[in-house]
Amino acid sequence: MSTKTTLDKAKAWAQNTYFSPESRAEIQALIDTNNTKQIDECFYKDLEFGTGGMRSILGQGINRINIYTIRKATQALCSEVLAQKSSNPSMCISYDSRIMSFELAQVAAEVMAGNGIKAYIYKHLNPVALLSFAIRTHKSMAGVMVTASHNPPEYNGYKVFWSDGAQVTPPNDQNIINNYNSITDFSSVKVMPFADGEKAGLIEWIKDEVEENYYKAIHKAMINPDLCRENGGKLKIVYTPIHGAGLVPCSRALKDLGFTDVHVVPEQAQPDGRFPTVKSPNPENPSALKMAVDLMDKLKADIVMGSDPDTDRLGVAIKVNGVVEYLTGNQIGILKVHYILSEMKRKGTLTGENYVVKSIVTTPLLDTIAHSYGVEVFNTLTGFKWICGKMNELEKTQPQKKFIFATEESFGYLCHTFARDKDGVSSVSQMAEVALFHKLKGRNLLEALDKIYEEFGFSREDLLSLDYFGIEGSEKISRIMTNFRNFSDNNILGNAIANIKDYSKGIEGLPKSNVIGFFFENGNQVYLRPSGTEPKIKFYIMIQEKEGTLANKKLNAEIKATQFLDYFKAASERA
């Protein structure tokens, strides 16, 4: 889009008295200083809904998160809810610790009220799982989570959930997108001031009992609560919410389960959208857990656990022989599913109708483990919107099937059916139970993993994530995907290619998605996927080693993974 087009849009914003004086002045300053690059970034497109809703940098303009784009998004959602012709429509709202999250949550409530839809909103910040739980509790038509998950502090965002408590899926998501794109006049959005909405009974604070019922529900979902109640004090835990929404719910869940030796990183305990102690509040990154690891050293604790701002991801670190080990999302998933299935088998509670759900980019070793216990595995596209969508589908079409566990490699887990998104609160509780179980058996989590590898085979997974920002970045990511779609060689680094799958064609019963999968004759796999909500492209490397000792398998897998990472990085830079 040309600078002239974006400049026209910027001038229209700056001159529109619907926007606040502060908002107009911010854009006028860009015009006055001829800041064409920033004008382009703010106006070259409307915000788009991706796999998790929409995210952007906070600021003014149609391509930024602000009260006006949140109003517009909420109006689009309201129109889709009203199209369902419910006699008493309602929606639920939660929000995390990010800058403006509470204010934007209130803005969403005002638009819901303006459309005659009742808005239930939490009195304080709460994780994603508690939003999903509230939607299901209130039997609401939809819900909104104001969050940008683990993005840097300058971001905020908006995740949309449907009546089942899961993130919105087709056709409703596309309808909302169409509604959003059809709104050309911000002043057409219906808004009722928050106080007026309360007086009219159209805005209501969510009652404390909803949260209490959630804690009771996830407590029941644990495998061996008696083990935790009797021995919980034997596991020393360091936990960090990384300035997010997790402090109260995760501390409460651990306490309810019987873990009494829990230490929170004091500098990261309180909610703070600036995330002042980390570069990025993402527990997938070792750097985000550094302060927790330092506290683990000081206290000689057994395990570090960290959650992101909206508390849907779990990161784990332990120390073995003086070396800090950061578990991958796949390793955490392997430990959890193996523990659940082995304990269910011991108790005789596997029914033959049990199933697990995972994303296609999550380790195939999880399939191997589940199948060995007679448990079916359903693979979905990346994202818990698809994972929970599959759960909801099976609940309707095959109600005899019993859900056990869901996971994706990006540190998201769900071990119950009370919410329909990844749940960092129950994940923290369950991880504590898994760690306690193995500690009582005299082994650490790496030793527990090695036992699993010895029995089921070794699998190594690595993630290459390349950031390409702005308009130029978006174009580069598109070129990378095009180049690999047109890939014509029969091998990569000597690995013979058995098949290349283009998921944009809607294969294997999955919705169309911008994903490419390389499948090699030796069992190795590589997936390419642009993020739906962030300016990056991800390469998922999965190495299978079947020959030699476990030590040799690990070494060979590391060498091959490094070669693949170097190859795909170099190929991307050339695009």
pLDDT above 90 coverage of the chain, percent: 93
Tens-place pLDDT, residues 159-177? 999 999 999 988 999 899 8
State which CATH number among 3.40.1710.10, 3.60.110.10, 3.40.120.10, 3.40.30.10 fits the domain covering 330-455: 3.40.120.10
pLDDT per position as a tens digit, 386-401: 999 999 999 999 999 9
* CATH no., domain 458-574: 3.30.310.50
What CA–CA distance (Å, rounded) separates 508 from 501? 10
From 3.40.190.10, 3.40.50.1110, 3.40.50.9100, 3.40.120.10, which CATH number describes the 65-211 domain? 3.40.120.10
32 pLDDT more than 80: yes
* C-alpha triplet 412, 415, 417: angle, nearest 5°: 110
| Tens digits of residue pLDDT in 450-504 | 999 999 999 999 999 999 988 899 999 999 999 999 999 999 999 999 999 999 9
pLDDT band at 150 (very low <50, low <70, confident <90, very high): confident
Contact 11, 43 (CB under 8 A): no
H-only helix segments in 442-549: 445-456, 470-485
Cis upstream peptide for 153 (omega within 30°)? no
Q: Which pTM does this prediction carry?
A: 0.94
Q: What is the mean pLDDT of residues 410-427?
A: 97
- Residue 533: the pLDDT is 63
Distance CA 102, CA 105 (A): 5
| Residue for token pair 């392997």 | 334
What is the spatial distance between Cα 117 and Cα 200, in angstroms, rounded to a whole number? Answer: 11
Residue 193 contacts residue 111 (beta carbons within 8 Å): no
**In whole angstroms, what is the distance from residue 283 CA to residue 289 CA?**
6
Separation of alpha carbons 37 and 235, rounded Å: 53
Domain with CATH 3.30.310.50 in the chain: 458-574
Lay out the sheet containing 314-320: strands in order across: 262-264, 237-240, 303-307, 314-320, 323-326
Supply the pLDDT for residue 2.
44
pLDDT in tens, 88-132: 999 999 999 999 999 999 999 999 999 999 999 999 999 999 999
Element at 325 (helix H, strand E) = strand 323-326
Q: Is 163 a residue of the active site? A: no
Q: Where are the alpha helices (DSSP H) in 203-278?
A: 208-220, 225-231, 247-257
Looking at the domain that runs over 226-314, which CATH code has it been given? 3.40.120.10
* Residue intervals in the chain for CATH 3.40.120.10: 65-211, 226-314, 330-455
Cβ pair 14, 39 in contact under 8 A: no
Q: In what order do the strands lie in the sheet with 203-205?
A: 54-57, 155-162, 142-146, 90-95, 118-121, 203-205
Stretch 530-537: mean pLDDT? 82
Q: Could you tell me if 398 and 415 are in contact, meaning their C-beta atoms sit under 8 angstroms apart?
A: no
Which listed residue (132, 149, 359, 426) is catalytic?
149
pLDDT (tens digit, 9 = 90+) per residue, 233-266?
A: 999 999 999 999 999 999 999 999 999 999 999 9
